[in-house]
Structure 1
Amino acid sequence: MKKIVCMLALLLTTACASNQKTSTEVPKKTEGFDSVLTGYEYPYPVSYYTFEGQGQKLQMAYMDIKPIGPAKKTIVMLHGKNFSGYYFAPIMKELQALGYRVIVPDQIGFGKSTKPEHFQYSFPLLARFTADLLTQAGVTDFTLVGHSMGGMFATRLALMYPERVQKLILVNAIGLEDYKTLVPYKTFDEQYPAELTTNADKIRNYQKVAYYDGKWKEEYEPMLIPPIGWTKGPDAALIAKTSVMLSDIIYTQPVYYEFKNLKMPTILIMGQRDKTAPGKPFASPENQKKLGDYPKLGRDVVKMIPKGKLIPMAGLGHMPFVEDFSGFMKLLEAEL
């Protein structure tokens, strides 16, 4: 764990230092970031895939890390909802050293990518954008790694493009159950006011409880720089709106019933302490007990997948690559 938090602190603190040097990019009237994190430097150079979508110009930011010499293969990593590509920095560095090309996109609505004011989000649409980005980058086939909500993105992409995804690796993916069968639906208008009140303490406390079993470390702070900066920036309302719209597709567009259709080898790496379940606070006390039972979910879902394999990580939560980086990388490298 010390290895990853030290690397995160180094890589992301460097970003903070860079932000201070380029602070003129951020309006002086705010101490936060705009919607595309202007002034916040990612751990690797950022490229952009520009295209038209729903009648507007969109840009997907992505990092494309190439190894020295011929690449063994290409690894594509898809981020979760509460982060964007930057939090994979230590994994990217390790994979690059092992000879892999690593591509990490920010989905539309996340990170440095466009956040449209009006947009109909869907997993299939975002998967299509990602596939098109990879085609532009000259990537025909790849190993796909998805964490948290990125696991739902990755599953949908693998279902749509089975000929391109050589192997699918899901790291504490959400979507291993159908939330709408256990959680009452909340409209945008019901969720948006609460999302507008998000602040540094709420972000930190949520991750402390949900990800780290109530044990917070200062070394985790660099990962919170972008989301906290957004709450203090000029586009906080747009970020809140985008967050609610993306929460809706988690609820309304399950992948749970289609795990049986995955054709490629699929690995579930799962911290067994995880209890993550979107919308859990809205569920009845009885359903709250059922939601997010990752040990059970892993055992049940892997049976649905024709070429499935479950790798449990005992005593770890939703962020196993943060809590036990060396242990996680050992497992990941073996599967690659």
Structure 2
Amino acid sequence: MRSVACLLTLVVSTVLGQTVVPPSTWNYTYPWPVKYHNLTSQRLNLSMAYMDVAPTSYATNKTIVLLHGKNFCGATWEDTARRLSTHGYRVIVPDQIGFCKSSKPPAYQFSLQQLAFNTNSLLQSLDIAQVKVLGHSMGSMLATRFTLMYPDVTSHLILTNPIGLEDWKALGVPWRPIDLLYADELKTNYTTIRNYQQATYYVNTWKPEYDVWVNMLVSLYHLPVEGPTFAYNMALTTDAVLTQPVTYEFGLVKAKTLLLIGTKDNTAIGKAWSPPAVQAKLGNYSVLGRETAAKIPGAELVEFTDLGHAPQVQDSERYHEALFEWLDRVG
């Protein structure tokens, strides 16, 4: 296992006392041109990759931001972004710092607040004053935090199988040191990713088209220089989502809110290293979706009783039918 100290050798240069961390060298093909928002954060000069997808059929003067999950990238929103674009939306699809085509800092204090701040910085650079925010998995947890931090910016909040609907720590998940989380991440390979996604995302089914997202993620861990840094960033992100619950603040959300929940989902951070009695209590989305919808004022809930953690992939037509019915109706 490579040490954290080795990761610090990935620093490229220092300008006026600030470390410059360039965009990723990862060459995975994205469906639209990738642009970069440069920002200074935690004494680091970073580049945040994003796609800016224009409306293709007609313009509504509405903008929506799509926030990816921990095991995903902006590119995984391609299907949704194309549909929104043809529906008249301008679609902003960022890769968060530490992920995919964005800078991967060798040392960074990951927090939902920091990622939300970075996302808002991107929107400010594009002169976007108000948005709808759609997140999936960790991206939904981030979308919730963004909405809480920037209520005047967020008009609508759409949560797709969010993590963070329960406080895993309070339910008994033991804290795991970052060094051990990093060691776990370094063991990641095609088999571990597929087995996890098959059990959690797709309700123990598998289609060949799911492999593209597995292989995309595997390629990040196997980057010759950035791979260990990416793995370390993922360990830091796991610690952030485990220790920074949003579940206690759902009642403060002011945006119009839709929850899209595949109830076969069983995702829970820390479940893998928890005692069996704790594992049995975690990740019951048939209950968590309804509890969360009841906490958010005026929220609507759509449940997919036969789908798992990634309903937008597992049954794209049904998922997007529900999404657009709500968007068209609530305005």
Per the normalisation by structure 1, the TM-score is 0.87
Letter matched to residue 289 of structure 1: A
Residue of structure 2 in register with 1:14 after alignment: none
Number of residue equivalences: 303
CA distance in 1, matches of 2:37, 2:181: 31
Q: Residue 59 of structure 1 aligns to which amino acid in structure 2?
A: S
1:184 Cα deviation after fit: 0.5
Deviation string, structure 1 residues 295-336 (Cα, Å, up to 9, x no partner): 111111111111211111120100101111111111111121
- In the alignment, residue 206 of structure 1 is paired with which amino acid? Y
Could you report, residue by residue, the CA deviation over 1:9-36 in whole angstroms, capped at 9, with x for unpaired residues? xxxxxxxxxxxxxxxxxxxxxxxxx982
How far apart are residue 253 of structure 1 and its match? Answer: 0.6
Worse-matched range after superposition: 299-308 or 252-261? 299-308
Change (3 A) 1:217 1:35: farther
Please name the residue that 2:98 is paired with.
109
Corresponding position of 2:221 = 231
Q: Show CA shifts across 1:124-167 (max 9, x none).
A: 11101101101111211011101000011100000011011001
User: Which segments of structure 1 move beyond 6 Å, counting only runs of 4 or more?
Assistant: none
Higher relative contact order (CA 8 A, sep 6+): 1
How far apart, in 2, do the equivalents of 1:230 and 1:76 lie?
23
Instruction: Summarize the alignment of residues 128-277 of structure 1 with structure 2, pairs less than 5 Å apart.
Output: 128-182=117-171, 183-234=173-224, 235-277=226-268
Query: Hey, what does 1:65 align to over in structure 2?
Result: 53
- Whether the 8 Å contact between 2:26 and 2:223 is mirrored in structure 1 is no
Aligned residue identity for 1:66: A
Separation (CA, whole Å) in 2 of partners of 1:224 and 1:303: 34
Are the equivalent residues in 2 in contact too, given 1:51–1:59 (CA < 8 A)? yes
* 197-206 vs 312-321, which moves further: 197-206
The 1-side partners of 2:215 and 2:124 are apart by: 32
- Partners in 2 of 1:117 and 1:212 — Cα distance? 33
Q: Which residue of 2 aligns with 1:308?
A: 299
Taking the aligned partners of 2:89 and 2:155, their CA distance within structure 1 comes to 14
2:272 alignment counterpart: 281
What is the letter of the counterpart of residue 64 of structure 1? D
More helix per residue: 1 or 2?
1
1:232-281, CA deviations, whole angstroms, 9 ceiling, x for partnerless residues? 32122111111100000111111010001001111111011111111111
- In structure 1, what is the Cα distance between the partners aligned to 2:283 and 2:196? 15
Matched, 1:118 2:133: no
Residue 38 of structure 1 corresponds to: 26
Given that 1:66 and 1:96 are in contact with CA atoms closer than 8 Å, whether structure 2 keeps it comes out as yes
Pick closer, same or farther for the CA change 1:255–1:38 going to 2, 3 Å.
same
Once residues 79 and 290 of structure 2 are traced to their aligned partners in structure 1, the CA distance between those partners, rounded to angstroms, is: 29
Q: Is the 2:290–2:301 contact (alpha carbons within 8 Å) kept by the matching residues of 1?
A: yes
Change (3 A) 1:199 1:193: same
For 2:321, the equivalent position in structure 1 comes to 330
Task: Please list every run of 5 or more consecutive structure 2 residues that lacks an aligned counterpart in the other structure.
Answer: 1-21
1:35–1:230: 8 Å Cα contact kept in structure 2?
Answer: no
Q: CA deviation at 1:72?
A: 4.1
1:297 aligns with 2:288: yes
Q: Distance in 2 between matches of 1:35 and 1:60?
A: 7
Tell me the amino acid that sits aligned with residue 253 of structure 1. Answer: Q
SS at 1:179's partner residue? coil
Following superposition, the deviation at residue 204 of structure 1 comes to 1.5
* Greater mean alpha carbon deviation, residues 228-237 or residues 270-279: 228-237
Secondary structure of residue in 1 paired with 2:169: helix
Distance 1:284 1:278, change over 3 A: same
Query: Is the 1:95–1:102 contact (alpha carbons within 8 Å) kept by the matching residues of 2?
Result: yes
Q: Distance in 1 between matches of 2:180 and 2:218?
A: 23
When structure 1 is superposed on structure 2, of 203-212 and 316-325 the one drifting more is 203-212
SS of residue matched to 1:107 = coil
Q: State the Cα RMSD in Å.
A: 1.4
Deviation, 1:115, is: 0.9
Contact map agreement 1:37 1:111 (CA 8 A) in 2:
no
- Match of 2:54, as an amino acid? K
1:209, CA displacement in angstroms? 1.4
The aligned amino acid for 1:200 is Y
Contact 1:271 1:318 in 2 (8 A): yes
Closer/same/farther in 2, CA of residues 35 and 73 from structure 1, 3 Å limit:
closer
Is 1:96 aligned to 2:103, yes or no? Answer: no
Identity %: 43
